[in-house]
């Protein structure tokens, strides 16, 4: 009798992966049908058909008041905030993380600061951001930056500082200056880890994005969800949530692929099954 | 003139004396093997020569000038582990030194300059048997191949002194025999001065022109703190050198010592005697 830990799924992998999704869908449909049977005007669990027509309405018909396709306008403004926020965070993290990780002087100067800053709950300073940066785009982007950067910096500096001492000595014995060591030894070895921790930061980034949009915005995925909540418009809210999840998933997947393509050496050791 | 001149050097960590009264003259082109029990400061001594730490007392001269107190391109190094860069291919690892020299800002070269460097690297890599693995990453290589790569990587920068920290300690005995032959060949060809720390006495006497033994002369518990290790023996290794004989034949004459290099000779009833 083989141990369970040694049984590999093989071709059944796809079936197994889809099974839980199918079960959730089935459970939803049954719940929805049940509630509709009891109360024909129930809004909490709308049937799939109603969600489809709601999606059609927001995504493929112009909004009567603004003349825009709300779904795409929302997606665009949310992704814009997210991408600006994450780009700035990554830039900060690269510069600070490499410096703190490689240079003992930078480590002594900035390491305690980032340790403290990373403990500040970003949501607690959201009001400050609104006061300082106003209610428009900047404060939402700032929330993402402030929420994500400290963790990225800490993670990256830790990665760089745990490069074997031998490697740094070796680089110097090949004539590398500090700058050359930074860009030819530390940076390339930090990149896969940076992508990895960026992937882990996608969750928090979306959290900060949607929170900021919920409080103050005139478009955006989070804004729409919280707006529609007043009308109990579950037929639109649920597809929006699924869409946000899908976006996050695709971003995560894309980052993973980029890392595999660009840094194959970093993925040699991964356990495959 | 001596390539390395070490005069009355002490290493101390706080109150702990690790090395004391170490004086050693290493002539240019010598192959010095340093042996001794664990914890006798062999590796500390090598770190000293690398410039990773400074002596508490004494001076070190490299080609008659005070040695810089940080690692530099005049002193190449091969460690037991982590000597090659995991993010660079075999070719990339070897190119790194020349590229850093050629391009201070980017640390990379392009076009004609790069092609020249690649050609030189390819020749050297083929010579050590890595010609077919140019695009592999170090994790895809065996331990022996990684150390060969590390040797080429260090030597292409043409250091004055090559420092080896138990470079072959983690290899299988058979592989070690092969790499000894290669090491000797590279040493002869480049004429580089080598200082090697090793655990393996046979390796020391096989490769070294001089074997230096580090030991603690006072080892009672109450003395351990204040007395460090020092050079207890400094042995000139004599080897029969008959003019006109080439390197392999000379090695063959040494084979009364049962050393792994004997694999290369034709006297053994070895299936590979065809050459």
**Percent residues over pLDDT 70 in chain A:** 98
Instruction: Name the 3-class secondary structure at B229.
Output: strand
* pLDDT mean over A237-262: 94
A57-87: burial string, b at 16+ Cβ within 10 Å, e else: ebeeeeeeeeeebbbebbbebbeebbebbbe
Q: At residue B269, does pLDDT exceed 80? A: no
H/E stretch holding B164 reads strand B161-165
Domain with CATH 3.40.50.300 in chain B: 1-74+161-238
Q: What is the pLDDT of residues A63-119, one digit of tens each?
A: 888 888 889 999 999 999 999 999 999 999 999 999 999 999 999 999 999 989 889
Q: Compute the mean pLDDT over every residue in chain B, rounded to the nearest whole number.
A: 82
Q: At residue B239, does pLDDT exceed 70? A: no
Q: What is the pLDDT of residues B62-108, one digit of tens each?
A: 888 888 888 989 999 999 888 899 999 999 999 999 999 988 888 88
d(CA B66, CA B69): 9
Q: What does the block give as tokens for B125? A: 């890599």
Nearest CA in chain B to A187: B87
> How many alpha carbons fall within 13 Å on the CB side of residue B63?
9
d(CA A190, CA A183): 10
Interchain contact, A174 vs B85, CB within 8 Å = no
Write the residue in A169, A183, A264 that is nearest to B107 by C-beta. A183
d(CA A71, CA A195): 29
Residue A138 lies in a domain: yes
Nearest CA in chain A to B87: A265
Instruction: Name the 3-class secondary structure at A221.
Output: helix
The yes/no answer to whether this complex scores an ipTM above 0.90 is no
CA of A149, closest CA in chain B: separation in Å?
25
User: Sorting pLDDT into bands at 50, 70 and 90, what band is A174?
Assistant: very high
Tell the residue number behind the tokens 């695009």, with chain if given. B135
Q: At residue B224, does pLDDT exceed 80? A: no
* Total count of domains within chain A: 1
H/E stretch holding A100 reads helix A70-102
**Statement: B1-74+161-238 belongs to CATH 3.40.50.300:** yes
CA of A182, closest CA in chain B: separation in Å?
10
User: Sorting pLDDT into bands at 50, 70 and 90, what band is B271?
Assistant: low
What dihedral do alpha carbons B146, B147, B148, B151 form, nearest 10°? Answer: 130
Instruction: Name the 3-class secondary structure at B228.
Output: coil
CA of B62, closest CA in chain A: separation in Å?
15
Tell the residue number behind the tokens 């894309």, with chain if given. A254
d(CA B241, CA B238): 9
Do A227 and A73 touch, CB atoms closer than 8 A? no
Nearest CA in chain B to A189: B87
User: Sorting pLDDT into bands at 50, 70 and 90, what band is B15?
Assistant: confident
Task: Give pLDDT, residue B67.
Answer: 87
Do B257 and B206 touch, CB atoms closer than 8 A? yes
H/E stretch holding B234 reads strand B229-236
Instruction: Give the CATH number for residue A121.
Output: 1.10.3720.10
Task: Give pLDDT, residue B174.
Answer: 84
A97-134: burial string, b at 16+ Cβ within 10 Å, e else: bbbbbbbeeebeebbeebeeebeeebeebbeebbeeee
Do A30 and A36 touch, CB atoms closer than 8 A? no
d(CA A17, CA A15): 5
d(CA A209, CA A143): 8
Task: Give pLDDT, residue A1.
Answer: 80
Please report the DSSP string for B11-78 in residue order.
Answer: EEETTEEEEEEEEEEEETT-EEEEE--TTSSHHHHHHHHHTSS--SEEEEEETTEEPPSS--TTEEEE
Residue A106 lies in a domain: yes
Tell the residue number behind the tokens 């915005």, with chain if given. A217
Task: Give pLDDT, residue B189.
Answer: 87
A144-176: burial string, b at 16+ Cβ within 10 Å, e else: bbbbbbbbbbbbbbebbbebeebbbbbbbbbbb
Q: What does the block give as tokens for B161? A: 């002194």
d(CA A144, CA A201): 10
Q: Which residue pairs from A195-200 have beta carbons closer than 8 angstroms and sit at least 24 positions apart in sequence?
A: A195/A255, A195/A256, A195/A258, A195/A259, A195/A263, A196/A259, A197/A151, A197/A152, A197/A155, A197/A156, A198/A86, A198/A90, A198/A152, A198/A255, A199/A252, A199/A255, A199/A256
Residue A270 lies in a domain: no
Q: Which residues of B touch A (CB under 8 A)?
A: 50, 52, 70-73, 75-77, 79, 81-83, 85-88, 96-97, 99-101, 104-108, 137, 139-140, 153-154, 157, 159
* A260: chain B residues, CB-CB within 8 Å: none
d(CA A263, CA A191): 8
Residue A28 lies in a domain: no
Instruction: Name the 3-class secondary structure at A71.
Output: helix
- Structural domain including A125 reads 62-263
Q: At residue B170, does pLDDT exceed 90? A: no
User: Sorting pLDDT into bands at 50, 70 and 90, what band is A272?
Assistant: very low
Q: At residue B264, does pLDDT exceed 50? A: no
Q: What is the pLDDT of residues B194-216, one digit of tens each?
A: 999 998 888 898 888 889 998 88
Residues 6+ apart with CB under 8 A from B64: B1, B2, B5
d(CA B99, CA B153): 12
d(CA B182, CA A230): 78
Tell the residue number behind the tokens 């478009």, with chain if given. A219
* B81: chain A residues, CB-CB within 8 Å: 164, 166
Residue A10 lies in a domain: no
d(CA A9, CA A19): 13
In DSSP terms, which residues pair with B17 in a beta bridge?
B12
Nearest CA in chain A to B108: A184
Do B46 and B214 touch, CB atoms closer than 8 A? no
Residue A24 lies in a domain: no
User: Sorting pLDDT into bands at 50, 70 and 90, what band is B245?
Assistant: very low
CA of B95, closest CA in chain A: separation in Å?
10
Q: What does the block give as tokens for A231? A: 């009308």
């Amino acid at each position: 009798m083989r141990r369970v830990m040694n049984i590999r799924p093989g071709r059944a992998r796809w079936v197994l992966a889809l099974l839980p999704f199918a079960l959730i869908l089935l459970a939803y449909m049954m719940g929805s049908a049940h509630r509709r049977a009891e109360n024909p005007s129930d809004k909490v669990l709308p049937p799939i058909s109603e969600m489809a027509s709601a999606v059609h309405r927001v995504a493929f018909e112009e909004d009567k008041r603004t003349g825009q396709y709300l779904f795409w306008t929302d997606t665009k403004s949310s992704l814009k905030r997210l991408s600006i926020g994450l780009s700035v965070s990554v830039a900060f993290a690269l510069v600070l993380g490499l410096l703190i990780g490689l240079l003992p002087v930078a480590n002594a100067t900035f390491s305690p600061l980032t340790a403290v800053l990373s403990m500040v709950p970003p949501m607690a300073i959201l009001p400050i951001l609104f006061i300082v940066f106003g209610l428009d785009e900047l404060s939402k982007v700032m929330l993402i930056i402030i929420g994500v950067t400290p963790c990225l910096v800490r993670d990256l500096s830790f990665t760089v500082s745990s490069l074997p001492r031998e490697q740094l000595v070796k680089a110097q014995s090949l004539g590398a200056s500090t700058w050359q060591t930074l860009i030819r030894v530390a940076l390339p070895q930090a990149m896969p880890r940076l992508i990895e921790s960026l992937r882990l930061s996608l969750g928090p980034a979306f959290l900060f994005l949607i929170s900021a949009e919920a409080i103050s915005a005139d478009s955006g995925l989070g804004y729409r969800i919280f707006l529609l909540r007043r009308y109990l418009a579950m037929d639109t809210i649920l597809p929006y949530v699924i869409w946000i999840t899908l976006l996050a998933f695709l971003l995560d997947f894309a980052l993973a692929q980029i890392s595999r393509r660009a840094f194959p050496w970093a993925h040699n050791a991964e356990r495959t099954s | 003139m001596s390539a390395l001149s070490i005069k009355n050097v002490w290493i101390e960590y706080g109150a702990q004396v690790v090395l004391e009264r170490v004086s050693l003259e290493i002539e240019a082109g010598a192959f010095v093997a340093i042996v001794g029990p664990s914890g006798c400061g062999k590796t500390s001594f090598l770190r000293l020569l690398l410039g990773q730490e400074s002596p508490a007392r004494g001076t070190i001269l490299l080609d008659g000038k005070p040695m810089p107190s940080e690692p530099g391109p005049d002193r190449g190094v091969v460690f037991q582990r982590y000597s090659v860069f995991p993010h660079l291919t075999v070719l990339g690892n070897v190119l790194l030194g020349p590229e850093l020299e050629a391009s201070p800002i980017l640390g990379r070269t392009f076009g004609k300059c790069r092609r020249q460097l690649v050609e030189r690297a390819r020749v050297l890599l083929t010579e050590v048997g890595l010609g077919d693995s140019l695009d592999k990453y170090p994790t895809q290589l065996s331990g022996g191949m990684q150390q060969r790569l590390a040797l080429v990587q260090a030597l292409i920068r043409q250091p004055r002194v090559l420092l080896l920290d138990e470079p072959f300690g983690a290899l299988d005995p058979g592989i070690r025999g092969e790499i000894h032959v290669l090491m000797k060949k590279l040493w002869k060809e480049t004429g580089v001065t080598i200082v090697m720390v090793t655990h393996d006495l046979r390796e020391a006497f096989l490769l070294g022109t001089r074997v230096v033994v580090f030991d603690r002369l006072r080892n009672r518990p109450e003395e351990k703190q204040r007395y460090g290790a020092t050079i207890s023996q400094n042995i000139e290794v004599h080897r029969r050198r008959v003019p006109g004989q080439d390197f392999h034949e000379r090695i063959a004459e040494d084979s009364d010592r049962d050393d792994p290099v004997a694999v290369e000779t034709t006297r053994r009833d070895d299936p590979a005697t065809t050459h």
